[in-house]
Amino acid sequence: MDENLGKVVGNKQILFKGYIEGVPKESDMELKLGNEIKLEAPKGSGAFLVKNLYLSCDPYMRGRMRDFHGSYLPPFVPGSVVEGFGVSKVIDSDNPNFKPGDIVSCFTGWEEYTLFRNTEQLRKVQPDDIPLSYHIGLLGMPGFTAYVGFYEVCAPKRDEQVFVSAASGAVGQLVGQLAKLHGCYVVGSAGSNQKVDLLKNKLGFDEAFNYKQEPDLDAALKKYFPEGIDIYFENVGGAMLDAVLVNMRVHGRIAVCGMVSQAGIGASDQQGIRNLFSLVPKRVKMHGFLQSDYLHLFPRFVEQVGSLYKEGKIAYLEDMNHGLESAPAAFAALFTGKNIGKQVVCVART
């Protein structure tokens, strides 16, 4: 039981300062101290109070930092607390389905404590030998994105040639490992030699390369894929996508998960993609997707990927910052590639 239960305490929060242009910076968010909260779930409210343990930093959140209401998620509200996926512990509850000590994976605030009045985007986590933080990574939205993107969107076949960009990231690292388990040949690209080493020696990719050290991406792809690429799992956009397009094989598939290289760039300054015509002679399918369209597969995903992890058949790289105050810098680092693996912020261990 939380020692402060029933007391009024200062609830540290990370606020979104205002709409941005360009690549997110640490200074786009700020720590606010001392917003008072009474640590209880009010009687008759059906609500429950959680202590946030781990918060997830994800590139999609950049999309909520602009004043655009036509997307699948509304923008953050300037001056309000940042939101994202998290793993949290129930400390008080007026809801019979949740009791103190329960661990939930949820869509929560970037703050120490959050009161939940509705349980729609929330799953109870059964404690086992999987680290709690993995429920916002390997077994959370990023892992599920990899799972549905690879199996449902890419429709892979054994022996196919698979290329993954941002391959050591939260999503890419699982895509590559699932592809290996499926019997594919897998190459990943990343932005440092350390990441390349991890891809080859810890995550089991057949090959990996540092795109920053390749003066000619087309030549690099031709070297690793002399017969072309069947499946491209697209996380970066820009010059890499253009090079991939001319290296696709007939009937290839491109799963468009994200384009992080273009994340901070206004539409008029986006790097134009020049080789799209290649889609026609190669009969390539390019398919943008969101994991949220496949939620009916989530239980199967947790079961299968959880088992693979417990059996030691897959690994997961996590980059953890400590303390809520470290969250803005941890988020900004996603866009410069500083993180190695899934970026998480540990607010509290228990």
**Shortest distance, position 107 Cβ to a copy of itself, whole Å:** 17
Residue numbers 209-228 binding a copy of itself by CB under 8 A? none
d(Cα 198, Cα 294) in Å, to the nearest integer? 30
Q: Would you say 31 or 273 has its CB closer to a copy of itself?
A: 273
**Shortest distance, position 5 Cβ to a copy of itself, whole Å:** 41
**Shortest distance, position 135 Cβ to a copy of itself, whole Å:** 24
CA quadruple 287, 291, 293, 298: dihedral positive or negative?
positive
Quick check: 203 and 176 in contact, CB under 8 A? yes
Q: Would you say 201 or 292 has its CB closer to a copy of itself?
A: 292
Does residue 22 touch a copy of itself according to CB under 8 A?
Answer: no
Quick check: 203 and 168 in contact, CB under 8 A? yes
Does residue 297 touch a copy of itself according to CB under 8 A?
Answer: no
Does residue 20 touch a copy of itself according to CB under 8 A?
Answer: no
Per CB under 8 A, the segment of 11-19, 22-30, 127-135, 265-273 that binds a copy of itself is 265-273
**Shortest distance, position 271 Cβ to a copy of itself, whole Å:** 7
Does residue 229 touch a copy of itself according to CB under 8 A?
Answer: no
d(Cα 47, Cα 270) in Å, to the nearest integer? 44
Residue numbers 110-129 binding a copy of itself by CB under 8 A? none
**Shortest distance, position 118 Cβ to a copy of itself, whole Å:** 24
Write the DSSP assignment of 155-167 as a string of letters: ---TT-EEEESST
Per CB under 8 A, the segment of 99-107, 167-175, 264-272, 319-327 that binds a copy of itself is 264-272
Query: Quick one: how far is CA 268 from the chain centroid?
Result: 26
Q: Would you say 141 or 324 has its CB closer to a copy of itself?
A: 141
Out of 21, 159, 293, 303, name the contact with a copy of itself by CB under 8 A.
Answer: 293
Does residue 1 touch a copy of itself according to CB under 8 A?
Answer: no
Q: Would you say 33 or 280 has its CB closer to a copy of itself?
A: 280
Out of 66, 202, 249, 287, name the contact with a copy of itself by CB under 8 A.
Answer: 287
Quick check: 54 and 136 in contact, CB under 8 A? yes
Q: Strand pairing of 48-56 and 113-116?
A: antiparallel
Exposure class string for 54-76: b at 16+ Cβ within 10 A, else e: bbbbbbbbbebbeeeeeeeeeeb
Kindly determine how many residues on this chain lie close enough to bind a copy of itself according to the rule CB under 8 A: 36
Residue numbers 31-70 binding a copy of itself by CB under 8 A? 63
Q: Would you say 109 or 252 has its CB closer to a copy of itself?
A: 252
Task: Fill in the amino acid letter for 253.
Answer: R
d(Cα 54, Cα 169) in Å, to the nearest integer? 18
Does residue 23 touch a copy of itself according to CB under 8 A?
Answer: no
d(Cα 103, Cα 157) in Å, to the nearest integer? 37
Query: Quick one: how far is CA 15 from the chain centroid?
Result: 21
Per CB under 8 A, the segment of 74-82, 85-93, 280-288, 327-335 that binds a copy of itself is 280-288
d(Cα 48, Cα 42) in Å, to the nearest integer? 8
**Shortest distance, position 275 Cβ to a copy of itself, whole Å:** 6
Write the DSSP assignment of 17-73 as a string of letters: -----SS--GGGEEEEEEEEEESS--TTS--EEEEEEEEE--GGGGGGGSS--SSSS
Binding region for a copy of itself (CB under 8 A)? 63, 71-72, 237, 241, 246, 250, 256-259, 262, 267-268, 270-290, 293
